[in-house]
Chain A
Amino acid sequence: MKIMVAIKRVVDYAVKIRVKSDKSGVETLNVKMSMNPFCEIALEEALRIKQSGLASEVVAVSMGPSQCVDTLRTGLAMGADRGIHVESTAALYPLTVAKLLKALVDVEKPGVIILGKQAIDDDCNQTGQMVAGLLGWPQGTFASKVLLDTEKQVATVEREVDDGLETLCLDLPAVITTDLRLNQPRYATLPNIMKAKSKVIKKYTPQELNVEVKSDIEIVEVTEPPKRKAGVIISSVDELIDKLRNEAHVI
């Protein structure tokens, strides 16, 4: 069985982002970019499944401008067998990404797709559910534990829900999206980084996959959130209780 993992190139999680002065978006020029942390977890899970002998191949897919190849190389250095880059300079929204992934599923025929539950740039939390819907596959979102049974062709997925944990059993093929506590992603070692350079990255354009890049949403503006007023530092518990009672009136 083959596992397909979608990985996204985003502004590194530790970067303090800056809103552009013309309100058109967030500055990404000369900013450190990395693999979306949830996608790292997705890839790690796929690699562990392969190591346990339940999968034969892990294919990493990334979509966007040419620099996505760097992100794919990182994924290959972590251990993915092959990369696929769908090149597009136009903004790709989750619905388009889901359609492109569906088109790639028709070519690659994976048994499982694993994605991060959300990207830390647009915080959409949509793509996995959408590709599952388009394919008519069952979905296990926000996974904190995944158990595959390739004989019975099912995946048992423990999910993080608002009031605890829910366990579902999914028929394969299925889509899984990862939450934070599924695993701890590995670091790429130097020999593996070297090895990754010779691994294959196949390129597609959206046209070749017969997907029209268009969108029914447009970004009107991106602005800074209102700043919180600077507070005060107080010196004792008594003062704190007094302030909360007589100034803020919250206790």
Chain B
Amino acid sequence: ISTLILAEHDGGAIKSQSISAVEAAKSVDKQTSISLLLAGSGPSLQQAAAHAASCHPSISQVLVADSDKFTHPLAETWARLVQLVQQKGGYSHIITASNSFGKNILPRAAALLDVSPITDVIAISSSNQFVRPIYAGNALCTVRYSGNNPCMLSVRSTSFAVSMDSKSNEAPISQVDLSTFNEDSVGKSRYINHTAQVTERPDLGNAQVVITGGRALKSAENFKMIEKLAEKLGAAVGATRAAVDAGFVPNDLQVGQTGKIVAPKLYMAFGVSGAIQHLAGIRDSKVIVAVNKDADAPIFQVADYGLVGDLFEVIPELLEKLPEKK
């Protein structure tokens, strides 16, 4: 068994979701040799490669594809790259994170390799048997892969926590030989730009505490209360689809079946009714707190602590009484 990890990097470092994919590879097989594939160009790629080499003790080598073609992680070039690296390496498993990077690239690469990928894996029972949620997490499906190699997975990073003692020796870094790279798809899609909210708050997918607001916040102005509370608790801010659709916050804060999946220690929902699509994204939280005026809101059925009350009174009181987070 040998595993190829399709890794994502930003600002010269490997993204934490990609390191979770390494943890998933270890659950496939403890003895597996793990190769991490990185693509990009320039100094930030070299920096990321150096980080990759020492970010996890189970990584046995780092493969680097350095070319202007890979400056932006486009699915067209990445899928061809995966095909090339697989032809040379003959890996038994190819794993990536189930985020917008992995979701975009993995199925395309799988089609080129004539493989059915298994997306959104939350548990690994054996080297060819995996559990994934279906119907917004209202059912769990165990799937067996019976095809020829490679078995291709995307994994939810919230289900594969990275162990803290992840210091390691330097894994060797080698360059991918791109002389036989299939150029057919190069240039057919072009990166134009990327707009992101700049925030000091922790990343929604990895935060220990998440504070979420729903439609009941009524306006973007009121939603700032949620942000204030999040600041106080060192938390990430999330939102329901209704709050995003109403324009209170940008789309990347949406939590749920089609948005972000979170699994914090503490999840606090204010004015969230608890649609099944939203609950799908918070199911693995350790402690769920719900504050809602409506005592019959479905969110109370999954909340560890429910408080029936007006969030416009509860949040200010919490802001006053909660200790400052250092």
State the A residues within 8 Å of B (CB).
11, 13, 16-17, 19, 26, 93-95, 98, 117-118, 120-134, 136-142, 144, 156, 159-171, 174, 179-181, 215-225, 228-238, 240-241, 243-244, 248, 250-251
Task: List the B residue with the shortest CB-CB distance to A135.
Answer: B111
A-B contact count (CB 8 A): 253
Q: How far is the CA of A125 from the CA of B134 in the complex (A)?
A: 11
Q: Which residues of A contact B129 (CB under 8 A)?
A: 220
Query: Nearest Cβ distance between residue B135 and chain A, in whole angstroms?
Result: 5
Contact partner of B305 (CB less than 8 A), chosen from A132, A137, A240, is: A240
Question: Would you call B104 an interface residue if the criterion is a C-beta within 8 Å of the partner chain's C-beta atoms?
Answer: yes
Interface segment, one of B54-62, B164-172, B284-292 = B284-292
Which 10 pairs, one residue from A and one from B, show the smallest C-beta to C-beta distance? A216-B147, A164-B196, A133-B111, A138-B189, A129-B107, A130-B111, A133-B108, A126-B107, A167-B192, A231-B304
Task: List the B residue with the shortest CB-CB distance to A20.
Answer: B139
Contact partner of A141 (CB less than 8 A), chosen from B75, B120, B205, is: B75
**A-B pairs with beta carbons under 8 Å apart, 12 shown:** A17-B135, A126-B110, A130-B108, A132-B111, A179-B251, A181-B245, A217-B116, A217-B144, A231-B302, A232-B306, A234-B307, A241-B318
Contact bitstring B65-78, A, C-beta under 8 A = 1, else 0: 00000000011100
Q: How far is the CA of A124 from the CA of B166 in the complex (A)?
A: 31
Contact partner of A138 (CB less than 8 A), chosen from B139, B185, B195, B277, is: B185
Query: Nearest Cβ distance between residue A182 and chain B, in whole angstroms?
Result: 11
Q: How far is the CA of A167 from the CA of B189 in the complex (A)?
A: 10
Q: Are A170 and B109 neighbours in the complex by a CB distance under 8 Å?
A: no
Q: Which residues of A contact B79 (CB under 8 A)?
A: 133
State the B residues within 8 Å of A (CB).
74-76, 79, 99-101, 103-112, 114-120, 129, 132-148, 184-185, 187-197, 205, 209, 233, 241, 244-245, 250-252, 257-258, 260, 265-266, 276-277, 283, 286-289, 295, 300-308, 314, 317-318, 321-323
Q: Which residues of A contact B146 (CB under 8 A)?
A: 216-218
Q: Which residues of B contact A171 (CB under 8 A)?
A: 187-189
Contact partner of A180 (CB less than 8 A), chosen from B134, B139, B241, is: B241
Task: List the B residue with the shortest CB-CB distance to A154.
Answer: B190
Query: Nearest Cβ distance between residue B206 and chain A, in whole angstroms?
Result: 11
Query: Nearest Cβ distance between residue B109 and chain A, in whole angstroms?
Result: 7
Q: Which residues of A contact B105 (CB under 8 A)?
A: 129
Q: Are B109 and A120 neighbours in the complex by a CB distance under 8 Å?
A: no
Query: Nearest Cβ distance between residue B277 and chain A, in whole angstroms?
Result: 8
